[in-house]
Amino acid sequence: MSTTDPRSIRISPDLLPADGRFGCGPSKVRVEQVEALAAAGGKLLGTSHRQAPVKNLVGALRSGLRDLFSLPDGWEIVLGNGGSTVFWDVATFGLIENRSQHLVFGEFSSKFAEAASVAPHLGQPTVIKCDPGSHPVATAEPGIDSYAFTHNETSTGVMMPLVRPVGADADSLVIVDATSAAGGLLWDPSEVDVYYFAPQKCFASDGGLWVAACSPRAIERINRIASSKRWTPASLDIKIALDNSVANQTYNTPALATLVMFEAQVRWMNGLGGLAACNARSKRSSDILYSWAESKSWANPFVTDKAMRSHVVGTIDIAASADGGVDANDVCTALRANGVVDTDSYRKLGRNQLRVGMFPAVDPDDVMALTRCIDVVVDALRG
């Protein structure tokens, strides 16, 4: 047992990262985004979302995302209030026709599967599950109209490649929870129909909004379900959201500050060189983190298969104190006392683990500095 109070550990200021925010959502917001907010303050904040200034902002956001993802013609960026959690309900009403297949490999992927399985208007979904730390593989199944993937399982730090199942029904949809992946991981629109996310992860803005990039096949599905007799609450109706989005509006009032910071980040990402450059930056951060962990006797990347190790959310197991390690909670407490925050593991995973958000806004040099800070803290805790 360590007898050192973690809050008493002092890290030398020259070792600290320039920015100590490593959360997986909410995540680091760049100074320039807050400056964009201040600049918008006098003229845009507090004005109608039905008038040109806010509609132009939404339009700039939608076209910036189209550029970032290199979306082919016919795709639409759809948005609404409520975040990704609400989008699971939106999809349950307006995207799944009858039966879905879900890959479940952590907390977030399990929630959409749960929403679909309890919906009274849908058939029972197929759930393909594996233990945390890996991801299952989809198999084409007749009668499945929606395949639900998670690009990056934020609770475990596992990323999966997005590939349409070979032999799937011709008009089936691939629906991807990309909440923590969008803007940081690469994907090919020809393998996907709906790529949905929220702005508080790679886009470094606030939560509360959902965004879905929708293929022409997905839009066809949305229109078909909307013209059927299925009852749908208006606030969860993706057809209403689509009609508002193409007019650069939302069905009800959005948080304007969220949109301003979101659009500023998308502009920065496109200026950086687009999705490839953003992914390269996150990959550099994650290479630093994983190779550091591999070099320590008391740390190890949780995800054993290197191809599945996320570029945007790193999970590092720490050895128990009986095995020469320390309590990961004490590491987080000591880091927090020095202004380095949100390195805690996903609670329900129940491991002695650190979890590090490495979204594009995070500087790889700061990830390097974080590893040095952890070394100092672990040395101090081990006495």
Ligand X SMILES: *Cc1c(COP(=O)(O)O)cnc(C)c1O
**Least CB distance to ligand X at residue 123 (A):** 24
Residue with tokens 């399982």: 153
Nearer to ligand X, 92 or 179 (CB): 179
Residues 76-115 interacting with ligand X (rule: CB under 6 A): 83-85, 108
Q: Is residue 179 involved in binding ligand X (CB under 6 A)? A: yes
For residues 313 and 326, which CB has a smaller minimum distance to ligand X in the complex?
Answer: 313
> Which of these, 275, 255, 242, 214, lies nearest to 64 by C-alpha position?
275
Options 25, 301, 314, 360; binder of ligand X; rule CB under 6 A? 25
CA separation for the pair 377, 353 (Å, rounded): 15
| Contact predicate 58/258, CB 8 Å | no
Q: Residue 154, interface with ligand X (CB under 6 A)?
A: yes
The span from the CA of 313 to the CA of 23, in Å, is 9
Q: How far is the CB of 145 from ligand X (least distance, A)?
A: 22
Residue type for position 113: A
Minimum CB–partner distance for residue 29 and ligand X (Å): 15
Q: Of residues 198, 334, 356, 369, which one binds ligand X by CB under 6 A?
A: 198
Taking contact as CB under 6 A, which single stretch among the options 36-44, 64-72, 177-185, 319-327 is the one that binds ligand X?
Answer: 177-185
Minimum CB distance to ligand X, residue 281 (Å): 19
Closer residue to ligand X (CB): 158 or 374: 158
- x/- contact string, 34-73, with ligand X (CB under 6 A)? ----------------------------------------
Tokens of 276: 């490839």
Indicate whether 177 belongs to the interface with ligand X (CB under 6 A). yes
Q: Please name the helix (run of DSSP H) or strand (run of DSSP E) that holds residue 68, with its range, or none.
A: helix 52-68
Residue 373 — φ and ψ, nearest 5°?
-65, -40
| Least Cβ distance, residue 105 to ligand X (angstroms) | 11
Taking CB positions, which residue lies at the least distance from ligand X? 83
Question: SS3 sequence, 31-87?
Answer: HHHHHHHHHHHCCCCCCCCCCHHHHHHHHHHHHHHHHHCCCCCCCEEEEEECHHHHH
CB of 178 to ligand X, least distance (A): 8
Q: DSSP label at 195?
A: E
β-sheet bridge partners, residue 318: 299
Query: Are the CB atoms for 133 and 153 separated by under 8 Å?
Result: no
258 sits near ligand X (criterion: CB under 6 A): no
> Least distance from C-beta 313 to ligand X, angstroms?
8
What are the Cα distances from residue 337, in Å, to 50, 97, 114, 156, 283? 45, 50, 38, 25, 28
Cβ pair 19, 285 in contact under 8 A: no
- Per the listing, tokens 């958000």 go with 357
By beta-carbon proximity to ligand X, the closer residue of 11 and 29 is 29
CB of 222 to ligand X, least distance (A): 21
Question: H or E element: which one contains 209?
Answer: strand 209-214
Query: Could you say whether residue 286 binds ligand X (CB under 6 A)?
Result: no
Residues that bind ligand X (CB under 6 A): 25, 83-85, 108, 150, 154, 177, 179-180, 198, 207
